[in-house]
């Protein structure tokens, strides 16, 4: 994922739009998450939002909107389950979610100032996007912590693919991703694959298991 931060009307959305278009042309599946700065979305004032269900879904002919009470960590966990190649996150500057592209003079944390970038936005995403690790701090990378790793990537001192946290295994607990170190990730994957692979119809490429306690 790549986080895009900065003040209002500083070019964040235009950057995300161009980046997503370029990545999709290259065949990638891309997600986009934006902080709208409001407590509720407009659909809550329409019929879709009036019914007090736990999940509300508004469906048009070509688009579907889900109204869920989820925080950003839970949203990113769900996107991980859906298998996107990249996710762009616009806003949420109070949270360090990944390497950041900073607009309007924003330079805090693991930030690459937009003014210093001289390549198309899609190339910027491929260069600086890192895994969402839930700050597990597994210690397998040379910087030693997730935060230090992101800062090293932003400064060009670390390859974004140097993160050792598994990206092919996602475990959600109460909707939030559980940080897995490489050993635990491999263990979960091997156990689930062995169990499901022995079931009729269990030989697919993607497995999602939900357990309610």
Confidence label for 32 from pLDDT (cuts 50, 70 and 90): very high
Token pair for 3: 């986080």
pTM of the model: 0.80
Confidence label for 36 from pLDDT (cuts 50, 70 and 90): confident
Confidence label for 156 from pLDDT (cuts 50, 70 and 90): very high
How does strand 56-59 pair with strand 64-67? antiparallel
Q: Residue 41's pLDDT is what?
A: 61
Burial class for 40, CB neighbours closer than 10 Å (0-12, 13-18, 19+): exposed
Main-chain dihedrals φ then ψ at residue 106, nearest 5 degrees: -75, 125
Tell which wins on pLDDT, 192 or 5: 5
- 84 close to 96: Cβ distance less than 8 angstroms: no
Token pair for 165: 């946290």
Q: Which of 47-51, 84-88, 126-130, 178-182 has the lowest mean pLDDT?
A: 47-51
Q: Which CATH number is 2-197's, of 3.40.50, 3.55.50, 1.10.10, 1.10.510?
A: 3.40.50
Q: What percent of the chain has pLDDT over 90?
A: 46
Q: Residue 209's pLDDT is what?
A: 76
pLDDT tens column, 3-19: 999 999 999 999 999 99
């Amino acid at each position: 994922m790549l986080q895009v931060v900065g003040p209002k009307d500083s070019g964040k959305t235009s950057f995300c739009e161009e980046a997503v278009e370029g990545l999709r042309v290259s065949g990638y599946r891309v997600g986009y998450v934006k902080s709208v700065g409001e407590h509720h979305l407009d659909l809550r004032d329409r019929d879709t939002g009036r019914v007090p269900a736990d999940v509300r879904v508004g469906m048009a002919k070509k688009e579907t909107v889900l109204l869920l009470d989820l925080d950003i960590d839970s949203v990113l966990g769900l996107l991980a389950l859906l298998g996107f190649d990249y996710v762009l996150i616009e806003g949420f500057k109070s949270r360090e979610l990944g390497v950041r592209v900073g607009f309007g003079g924003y330079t805090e944390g693991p930030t690459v100032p937009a003014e210093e970038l001289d390549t198309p936005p899609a190339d910027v995403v491929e260069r600086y996007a890192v895994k969402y690790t839930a700050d597990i701090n597994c210690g397998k990378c040379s910087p030693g912590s997730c935060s230090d790793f992101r800062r090293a990537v932003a400064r060009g001192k670390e390859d974004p693919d140097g993160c050792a946290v598994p990206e092919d295994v996602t475990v959600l607990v109460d909707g939030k991703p559980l940080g897995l170190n490489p050993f635990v990730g491999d263990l979960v994957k091997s156990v689930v694959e062995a169990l499901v692979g022995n079931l009729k119809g269990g030989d697919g490429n993607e497995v999602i298991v939900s357990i309610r306690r």
